Structure 1
Amino acid sequence: MEQRQQERSRVVLGVTGGIAAYKACELLRHLTESGHETRVVPTASALRFVGEATFAALSGHPVATDVWDSVHEVPHVRIGQSADLVVVAPATADVLAKAAHGLADDLLTNTLLTARCPVIFAPAMHTEMWEHPATQENVATLRRRGCLVVEPAVGRLTGADTGKGRLPDPERIFELCRRVLSRASAEVPADLVGRHVVISAGGTREPLDPVRYLGNRSSGKQGYALARTAAARGARVTLVAANSVLPAPAGVDVVPVETAVQLREAVIKAAADADAVVMAAAVADFRPAVYASGKIKKRSGVDPDPVALVRNPDILAELSTDRPRAGQIVVGFAAETDDVLANGRAKLARKRCDLLVVNEVGERKTFGAEESEAVVLAADGSETPVPYGPKEELSDTVWDLVALRFP
């Protein structure tokens, strides 16, 4: 498969006229240094931000914006026809509108019309432009057709403005491109296109006083892997992240939370229109009954008062029992230290979810590791073992099983 991927790794990098165009150079570097043959197709406006010579030098290919350049080679047809991936980064509101409506007035928009490979748009624009109903309708149209339109990041825009509309980090966009190319080389369809999935990740923290909390060792890596793989398969992804320091995956809408109550509120809100909810976060079962407004002091010769605990809401059971939309798939995770499968089956029955990912935890197992192994239990009684390997492999297995259960 790797040889086939290398043979097919022909990437078209479209660059449009936004201030984030300079970041396309870093994405181009990632693509070329990883062995992908990459051709840059900028718009005329993009060349007002980054010169033609820069793109040509970094890619090793000539750069053109007009369909009349090298017309004997029919570039407006050939470039799109021969590509294995087209990624437009940054993608302005203008190019999203043209792509959605099939307009073709330059080489890039002609390439988009002739491409029969996966297409990724990484939008970058001011918040008001991204949130405008026209842009949102264009994005919905492109997603419905199978294009991957990643969610912009939140952060500093031009001038003093801050908000949603920032181009995701080029390295994260490259990771998405790599995943899409890998699946395309294996001829695996983007089976989550048009789906909205919600994923929780990380570990909740329940405050005891202003400096202390009850927490757990979850790193959030599995939840983030689930988010990356879902985005690569075409889904719109909402990631509710509890106390994670991991970089946001490209195209994923990240909602930061701290406590179990906050996580519940965020997940329930996002799940209202979700096709699937995957609860990969390690949610605290209990929280301190009383929060001390000041730091609890150590008193000489006096034992500390016992910490009384109260139950946190059972988010997985609530989601499974009261699903906001028909056909919604709910997936839970169970970290067990003994009688792993027996405890997992009992939890699956108790929580009433569709799938439960069961893994064994302990010292040097699962928490913080880059690899994992698990068994995915299903409500219909089936079991799918996932051998030890990268977390992305477990993630893809979960999405395979979820996709099979969509109505």
Structure 2
Amino acid sequence: MRLSRSILVVVAALFLSGMIFAALPGSAVLAQGGTPPSLIVYSSNRSGNYEIYVLDPNTGLSTQLTNDPANDVEPDWASDGEQIAFASDRDGDYELFVVQVDGTDLKQLTNNQSQDRQPRWQPDDLQIVYMSDVNGQWDVYMITVEGGLVRQLTNDPGDERGPGAGVVQPVGPVATPQVITPVVVVPTTQATAVPDAIVDSTTLNVRENPGEGARIMLTVARGTPLKVLGRYQDNSWLQVLTPSNNTGWIYRPLVTVNIDLARVPVVNATFIAPPPTATPVPPTPSSTVNLVAGIVVLDPAAPTCQQTFTVGFDVANLGTTASAASGTVSLVDVRSADGSQQGTTIGGFPILQAGQTFRVNMPLTVSTWYGEQHTITLVIDPSNGIAETVETDNIRTVTYTLAKGSCP
């Protein structure tokens, strides 16, 4: 426990050095024995505000450990005699701090907008129990010295202080020292406290303010425990303390909350909405000509050897402006088996307005390779005399079988 191994020596020293305590200027509060040589840590306002001091009862000499314009109070000595925990309002409200016994390596443990008081070391010197009104009423909490992981130990409407809450009373110049019977607290096994909130998403952004437009301070991973300090008015955003001791805002639906948010104070923070998404403006279409090959109609449908038939071919302008000039269509008939040419002809079409279709009728007579398949290939504007943005839709092919008719 935190009582000195030489507690009898300390108690005797307190009796014998009563005048030494009486002579201390200011008010001494929460004095506590340390490790041998039984030094005593206490808080005094001798300098105008409360600072932390260490007293050697054998000599009556005090050493000042802290020096800050704020109040440093409620010191508690770790059982190994190396560190001292205390509360200080140096950032506007009381937070917990730890300092080495020689006054070096000052470390802030809590950082919120509430009151954190009465730190008490646990026997392992790895955790500190304290009281806080962060949820609107006084409850008991525990924090790890390394990492700052906070666990809430009590959570009910009652006012809970402890453990070992003290009353601050000034020590007068002729006060008679009182014998304080030490209270030995037997530690009990506590059930593992559930964090206020746990991250559900793969990663979670912690922001400076509520709202997706606020700057991202850091990102935490799935399963990270969070201490809930406050909430936005509609509960959509929560102000949290991360294990790395950073205070920021997170989006409520991305975490599992294990506490009653009705008991969490509403924080009047500025909501920063994301910047508006620009509506894309469709580009203004440019005026173009687009000649497209349409359907092919054979008349008669089954051409006969040495008999003229008509090839009807639809040419359409699917662009946004009229063609600059009239155009031509080339027709080539080949034997499908070897690609040998069996006949050719040319057709023409006038200037085509946007959206206009014109049928080009071309007569053709084929006298060879009856009883076999033929392929007709039609190409619009084969010499590229009409400017187009697309040329790949100017070709159409059709096949037929040439009937024998009167051919020998």
Select the structure of larger CA radius of gyration. Answer: 2
TM-score by length of 1: 0.21
TM-score by length of 2: 0.21
More strand by share: 2
Q: Which has the higher contact order (CA 8 A, sep 6+)?
A: 1
More helix by share: 1
